[in-house]
Each structure stands twice: as structure tokens, then as C-alpha cells.
Amino acid sequence: MSNATRLILASLSLLSGWGGVAHARTGGDAVPAYGAVHAADGSANRPDPSLRYRVAFDTARAAPDPAQINPALERIARFMNLLAADRIHPKTGDVVAIVYGAATPSILADGEYRARFGRDNPNTALLRALRKAGVSIEVCSYALAGQKIARDAVADGVQVDLSAMVTLANLQLRGWAVIPG
């Protein structure tokens, strides 16, 4: 076989996925259409079915453009899909997004988001999908006040907490893992 033929076959195998290359896919069992995961058979340090996953995501960063989905929220979808790929489904409320800072507008209802950014909130469907997967979405009341957002401007199903700092401290002291944003 010539070197050119080998090169062509190697290139085709990489493009087709033949030869063990993992493929990204959109969404997963827990949060369809969000949080792309890929098959990673043989990987070390996989989700452990003997653990209770109680995880708080420190969600303070915004998308670079208000027309885009907040990548911090999509990351939570990926986490849920990674667990689901190994048949692990945390209890409702055991995974929490604590939203504050620049990420605060991500949890606005469409009407308020439209008033501020001229378009519907691109995160609305993702927030709904996360809640359906059992993720609790919580926002800091100080972040709302600091950005002049009324409580009734928050999307349905989002809980308003006193303070992101208090929520993070409470959850950590109760044994939750905190994943920084």
C-alpha cells in the first residue's frame, strides 16, 4: 500500500470516527438539546453510582453576547448529561445553579429580557430543561437589586435567595460540592 493510500485511509478513519475517535453529540438523556457529551469508553474517574451527587454551580459569568445561551448554564446541562450517561440521576434539588453577578440577566423572563436586550431570553428553554431534569435554579436578591431587576421579572421556577454568598456557604457547610464558574 502506498504512503498516499495510507494517508487517505487514515484521514477517512478520523473523519468517519472509525478508529475510536469520540463523537460529540447534542444533549443527552437528562437535558436533551443542551450540554453536548461524547462517548468516552475506558475513561478514568467516571461518575460513581455509590455517591449522592449534591453539587452547587457558582454561576456568575454571562454569555459574551446577550443573544447567546449562557455557557455556565449549558455546563450544568453537560454535567447532568454526563451523569445520566452512566445511569446516575441526582434527586430533584441536589444540583443547584446559584446565579448572581453578570449572569443575573440569564434568569429573566422573556418580557423583561426583551425590554433590556431587544430579544427574548435565549436561556428560557435551557432553564426549563434544567428544571425538568431536577436542577434548582436560584438567584441572589442582592444581584437582582444591584441590576434593578424586580422579583416579578424573574423567569418562572427560579427561586430568589437572600444572597449567593449565604446560599453557597450553607450548601458547602452541608457537604455539597461547589463547582466554580
Nearest in space to 60 (alpha carbons), one of 171, 177, 165:
165
Percent above pLDDT 70 for the chain: 85
pLDDT category of residue 167 using cuts at 50, 70 and 90: very high
Mean residue pLDDT of the chain comes to 88
Nearest in space to 126 (alpha carbons), one of 46, 51, 3, 26:
26
Separation in Å, CA 116 to CA 33, 107, 125: 26, 13, 19
Q: Say whether pLDDT at 90 is over 70.
A: yes
Q: Say whether pLDDT at 17 is over 50.
A: no
Neighbours of 104 (CB within 10 A): 22
pLDDT of residue 41: 84
Domains in the chain, CATH or no CATH each: 42-179 (3.40.1260.10)
Q: What is the CA radius of gyration of the chain?
A: 20
Q: Say whether pLDDT at 21 is over 90.
A: no
**42-46, 74-78, 155-159, range with the lowest pLDDT:** 42-46
CA dist 82 and 110 (Å) reads: 29
Instruction: Give the model confidence (pLDDT) of 106-116 as tens digits.
Output: 999 999 999 99
pLDDT of residue 14: 36
In terms of pLDDT, which residue wins out, 22 or 136?
A: 136
Are the CB atoms for 36 and 84 separated by under 8 Å?
no
pTM for the predicted model, two decimal places: 0.84
pLDDT category of residue 28 using cuts at 50, 70 and 90: low
